[in-house]
Amino acid sequence: MQKIRKVVIPVAGSGTRFLPATKAMPKEMLPIVDKPIIQYIVEEAVKSGIEDIILVTGWHKRSIEDHFDYPYELERRLLEAGKEKQAKEVKAIADLANFVFVRQKGPYGNGTPVMNARHVVGNEPFAVMWGDEFIHSDPPRLKQLIDAYEKYGVPCISAVRVPENRTNKYGIADVTPVEGNVYKINRIVEKPKPGEAPSNLAAHGAYILPPEIFDILDSTPIGQGNELWLVDAITTLAKQTGVYAVEIQNGKYYDTGNKLEYLKTVVEFALRHPEVGPEFSQYLKDVTKGA
């Protein structure tokens, strides 16, 4: 079985939910305390054994490329100023993995950036992760997916339990248990109303897919909203080979793609931050007293 070495991360979206902040700055570069969202996602991939990071970008996402570039001038200035710790930190970002940047082109929809990476992925299985959400878990979410793929040899999707009243915000899986936290996906129902969902298991966030998904995407008709959807291709793949959902263990899902959940994420990570955590905790207590 081929090792999973590559991950495709689509980051070409406009981030309209965060306007005007994202008018000139990619939503993936919004900070979680002192690191941008996209760095957390890349670090998860690297900790899971990924070697090649393929970021599918757009014309307005140049700062993402710059963030993962080698900052020679900045490193030199930091060293000259005696800031060795910061110099090591910024250099380490470029050393995380091999970075490939591909410009998105084609119809709207989250299937398009995956297709755009076809020539880089080649004929091997690969991972897909989104650029505005992540799961903080131990072991990393993507590592749990890779382990399941290596055990069962079946394409896998990460999954988390969601409240019954929030099923209308996710793709909910109708599943059959396989073993432990692994389930066979019978179908995925997109954003079902509460009470109509087949389960409360939301299948989304990270994927292990075979190279055959490219041919399937190529022949998948344009779907809802006149867009090319990855889930439509995965539905076809499920009929051919089966697709498993892996309920992520020891983790928490952070949806940094909307304002409220983004703010919650910043607060949680600030409270855990070794430099500002204790003082920030006291500040929150003081603020809430006067609320």
Lowest-pLDDT choice from 153-157, 179-183, 192-196, 220-224: 220-224
Share of the chain above pLDDT 70, in %: 99
- Where does CATH 3.90.550.10 sit in the chain? 6-257
Predicted confidence at residue 251, as pLDDT, reads: 86
Asked if the model's pLDDT at residue 1 lies above 80, the reply is: no
Structure tokens at 53: 């990071």
* Amino acid in position 76: R
Q: Residues with Cβ < 8 Å from 81, sequence gap 6 or more?
A: none
Between these two residues, 171 and 44, which has the higher pLDDT value?
44
Predicted confidence at residue 290, as pLDDT, reads: 64
Query: Which class for 250: exposed (0-12), middle (13-18), buried (19 or more C-beta within 10 A)?
Result: exposed
Rounded Cα–Cα distance for residues 70 and 269 (Å): 26
Model confidence band, residue 291 (pLDDT cutoffs 50, 70, 90): low
Question: From start to end of the chain, where are the E strands?
Answer: 6-10, 31-32, 35-36, 52-57, 98-103, 126-129, 133-137, 156-161, 171-179, 182-190, 201-209, 244-247, 251-255
The three-state secondary structure class of 149 is helix
- Chain-centroid distance, C-alpha 44: 9
Predicted confidence at residue 48, as pLDDT, reads: 95
The three-state secondary structure class of 183 is strand
Average pLDDT rounded to a whole number, residues 3-11: 95
- Round the average pLDDT of the chain to a whole number and report it: 91
Predicted confidence at residue 188, as pLDDT, reads: 83
Asked if the model's pLDDT at residue 284 lies above 90, the reply is: yes
Which pTM value belongs to this model? 0.92
Which residue, among 156, 239, 163, has the nearest Cα to 205 in the 3D structure? 156
The DSSP bridge pattern shows strands 98-103 and 52-57 to be: parallel
Predicted confidence at residue 110, as pLDDT, reads: 85
**Is there a contact between 246 and 157 (Cβ–Cβ < 8 Å)?**
yes
Lowest-pLDDT choice from 2-16, 119-133, 180-194, 218-232: 218-232
Which residue, among 269, 266, 271, has the nearest Cα to 281 in the 3D structure? 271
**Is there a contact between 202 and 158 (Cβ–Cβ < 8 Å)?**
no
Between these two residues, 80 and 191, which has the higher pLDDT value?
80
Predicted confidence at residue 279, as pLDDT, reads: 95
Between these two residues, 275 and 190, which has the higher pLDDT value?
275
Predicted confidence at residue 131, as pLDDT, reads: 87
Q: What number of CA atoms fall less than 13 Å from residue 72's CA on the CB side?
A: 0
Give tens-digit pLDDT for 218-236.
988 887 777 788 888 888 8
Tell me the CA distances in angstroms from 107 to 102, 218, 235, one per residue in order: 15, 12, 19
Tell me the CA distances in angstroms from 48 to 41, 43, 141, 195, one per residue in order: 11, 9, 8, 36
Lowest-pLDDT choice from 45-59, 91-105, 194-208: 194-208
Average pLDDT rounded to a whole number, residues 52-79: 92
Average pLDDT rounded to a whole number, residues 196-212: 91
Q: Which fold has domain 6-257?
A: Spore Coat Polysaccharide Biosynthesis Protein SpsA; Chain A (3.90.550)
Asked if the model's pLDDT at residue 130 lies above 80, the reply is: yes
Name the residue with tokens 């409240």. 163
Predicted confidence at residue 84, as pLDDT, reads: 92
